[in-house]
Structure 1
Amino acid sequence: MWSFNEHYLSKQHWDRLHLSHSDKLSPVELLQHVQHKKSVFKLRQISDRLESVCTEHVGAGVRSRCLPPPPVLSPLQVFAFDHCFWSMDESNLPKYAGQEVVFKCLGEGILENAFQGYNACIFAYGQTGSGKSFSMMGNGDNPGLIPRLCCSLFERVHRENNESHSFKVEVSYMEIYNEKVRDLLDPKGSRQSLKVREHKVLGPYVDGLSQLAVTSFEDIEVLMCEGNKSRTVAATNMNEESSRSHAVFSIIVTQTLYDLQSGNSGEKVSKMSLVDLAGSERVSKTGAAGERLKEGSNINKSLTTLGCVISALADQSAGKGKAKFVPYRDSVLTWLLKDNLGGNSKTAMIATVSPAADNYEETLSTLRYADRAKRIVNHAVVNEDPNARIIRELREEVEKLKVQLSQAESLKAPELKEKLQESEKLILEMTVTWEEKLRKTEEIATERQKQLESMGISLETSGIKVGEDKCFLVNLNADPALNELLVYYLKEHTRVGADTSQDIQLFGIGIQAEHCVLELCPDGDVTLTPMGNARTCVNGAMIDTLVHLWHGDRILWGNNHFFRINLPKRKRRDRLRDLERASPRESFIEADVETASEASSEQDYSYEFAQMEVIMKTLGNDPMQNVVQVLEKQYLEEKRTALEEQRMMYERELESLRQQLSPEKASQHHRTSSNSDVLFRQSLSRLREQVVKANTLVREANFLAEEMNKLTDYQVTLQIPTANLSANHKVRPLSC
């Protein structure tokens, strides 16, 4: 299932790619007919940034050309897939493939296999921002694959449940970040990493991972929401990017079949692993450094290992030479997905791409990745009565270990004791009754809710849509799955900071023990007062004194805690009236907090908007921005002078050159001049991006130095040869 849109990609770009698909069989028939991995390709909508930077519309919206094309074009390449989904423009209904279409083509087949007793897996792969999380999780109005699959699961469970056929459903939710595993459903899971072990009976598993019992789709919905809240809090507090972590949501379905006449019973157990992989991108493109580079290296390590595993399994399936070693244990991700990748599982892959030609290399890499995955052949079997067999084998293992321990030498005793404790713990977990599992789930839920409440986070599952008449803060996050997920209701006196006594607890770089105070007045007016040197920005502007907040204002605390405030009684249309009545100084302060836009208070301000206004205000106060502007003015002046000299020269020699200069040469000269200007603009734009990134890293370094009581002040120095930005300088792909 591949989603693809040629119209929004450069012709040179896609002339080199040829895609073919096979849809003669239905999704269920296709999965039953062969056990190849199912490859799914999905094209996201193009963002405003990429559309404005990378694309050039030609004609009346019929066709688009993306610039620039890749510098080196490879020969024609052929890729195989099962389905192609075009998700560019929802208004184009005949072509548009929404979440429901994706679920019908992929989710229904996976669900049918699970009810037959097969293990199943869906994993989404693609670069950051290509729509992986949206495809898997979706949002409130447009749920993704995971919520739709869970909803359909319980619809069928309730329909087929009777005295001779019963169902039990359990779920787990974990995150893999920097090769460490976190339990998102355990209140303590975000603060400690879990160990990955491999048992000769069970295979790879996460020691201590919560496996909670659920009885309805609503239970799963609550767990997913609270798990995502835990993930958001952990990612923001540790200054992580959620797009750089893998998320694995697992559903274990146990079916018990009773023979009412004989009294015999049997079980079928299936496990569905739904994996949202971290974004894949090149280090050279992200400009990562320091911890971000280390983080990216770990992500690239896991994705590279996943690629090596897929390639080795594809070669084995194709029968190429002798059996290759498959490096499952080279990363935590591939170790845990061992059975899903090359064992007892029916697996599908969703490959998502961006339509911009700027992402050509990432798109090509994704195509190759999915093409290799399609060639793998798994050997899935129905899991009948696995629990009884596993418990029996574990008990046999325990008896053997006890005998070995009694006869072991002193050096081997600790190792045998550890193995014995591991097997006994697994037996204990597998013999827990269903009632005990339900009770444990309730206890963990209560503890998790208390923890969220202690941090000031609302427990409402529907987030921002709840309490529109109340005053609250809502988080802004770059990841759509984690954006607007945390709601903090305001009290008359709300304290924000890292100390446990604060009403809203935030942690991370730049957050003080007592950071600021929010005051809620009876008339609905809200003021914000930062404490000491606590970094606080409102609508992108740094503040150090009391300010009045308005509906829709964006707040940045510390280095990366972005929020938007909801104040129904303080609509922005009332602000102009108050500014007119204010003193000149008060008007100046309030106007500085305002952004340049005069948008209405109902505008939905996003994370990108809030981040960009902080960057723009930072650039406005940055001395290096003045240097960049001087360089730009110098270039324009030199270009104007050079053009004037060329015009005068052409006028003097017009008659002599009329017979020699052909129209093609003149056109070629015009294109060269135009290309030079385009390259300069691109270089200047990239320079500005690098300045912003450098300032962000320096600010983070200064925060760390201050927290460590280091008398060090980091600054950014711009060192670019001025001649490189001259209009007469030799044209190169990058002039800076």
Structure 2
Amino acid sequence: MKSKKSKKADFIPYRDSVLTWLLRENLGGNSKTAMIAAISPADINYDETLSTLRYADRAKQIVCKAVINEDANAKLIRELKEEIQKLRELLKAEGIEVHEGTEISRNNKDSERIRTVSTSLAEEAVDQLQASEKLIAELNETWEEKLKRTEAIRVQREAVFAEMGVAVKEDGDTVGVFSPKKTPHLVNLNEDPSMSECLIYYIKDGITRVGSSEANLPQDVQLFGSHIKPEHCIFENREGQITLVPCSGATTYVNGREILEPVVLKTGSRVILGKNHVFRFTQPDAARERKEKNSSATENENNVDWNFAQIELLEKQGIDLKAEMEKRLLKMEEDFRKEKETADQLFEEQRKSYEARIDALQKQVEEQSMTMSMYSSYTPEDFNNEDDIFVNPLFDAECNWAEREYELAAMAWRKWKHHQFTSLRDDLWGNAIFLKEANAISVELKKKVQFQFTLLTDTLYSPLPPDLRPIIDYDQDEDCAIARTIVAVEVQDTKNGATHYWSLDKLRQRLELMRLVYNEEVDTPSPLSVEDAVPLLRCLTQCPPAPSRFSLTTLLPSRLVPHFATIPPHTPA
């Protein structure tokens, strides 16, 4: 650790060394430098000698540009003086004598020769000479003269800002909208409080014109709007007294009253030009005197805003704002009531239309169901009867089918016959009410048993138990490998952690027993004993356990028509 600290302490600052400062001009390339390459005649120093000669050869190709160390201003002055001297020599060669102070006099002897020379070159040279001398004068200007010139520029800038309605604070740096201490002015009032008192319009001594940009005469205050005339009004400032003179046809209000003749303004007056431009007139001297006499009046003046000016305008014009608002509110309520009645009537018509369509579709479904039931009730022997409704000329013709077509037709018939007896939707709709009743009885009796629909598929690897298989009379030549899906009831005994599966017929049978137990429970309000609860537990949970390898999809009966998932039948390869 000590050795490391000593190495850090022994750091040599090459950049800040005395030698570096002495050679800073040479190292910076600002002066010419001579280099001596030392070589050795010994063969053992062959590599070093060759490297030195190569470096010397490259060093000869370096171009060194010497730079004179001088101040930038001094350099600029020197260049300008040289340029002035060249211009004077050029003018002297043309016969134009130039003295100090840029006074130019012509030599009478060479006047005829000077007239023949192009005047453009002489004028250009004179302009360059004057510009150069002006630049030299600015560079040689003292700080006092620069300060005076800057002060004059500041005064000119404040005057321009005053014309634009923008004020500059006394420090000279802060630029913004400030309330002047002596000059009468107008302050804007806006419906948005954050936009109020953001603009100040000065009323200068004499006449201040207010209008739009379309006026023939330049307007001191330019406003924009549909109700602003090109020459709207005039503010006359005569010895501190401000008079507002409206122009012909211009809409102008003072303190809520429309004026047609000149009016003398007082501090705090509300001035409305057109329909949208609202201002508050302020005269600083009068405001201070008023504040000294009555402080409450000053507070009321500060509370004047856009809403105050609008309410004052409506009151002075004979418009009851409250009554007008109530009238508008009643009109809006009437419009809303009419729209609501129209919407209700339209909704009722749509409801009746949808109900009629639903009834028509329901009748159509019932007719189709009756037709399918009638077709399914016939046997093959019924088709041999001559009086059968299906025996008609359309069936008399002999069917000339190939063997492959017969096989496809037989397969389609078997699949149709298989699926016509397994309508899962009808089973779910028809037994949903029984499932809800069973769950309700279980909750009422505080038995931790839940019932829900599930789909069980009879496959080669997970066959259904005999009590859950559907009773269907299949043909002997039917493909028995077709998977069958049935609707079953999953019974979850959360108390014992057991799960059982019932058929829909078994659900209805057990539901009868559950109703008996529930009726007995209602008739006897005393709590059930263990012996009384045996029939309910037996009807709820006693059933043969189902194998756990069944493929199923759980369906929660959250509605009268529960959602169900259809498991596609398994077709063997």
Scaled to the shorter chain, the TM-score interval is under 0.3
Larger C-alpha radius of gyration, 1 or 2? 2
TM-score, normalisation: structure 1: 0.21
TM-score, normalisation: structure 2: 0.26
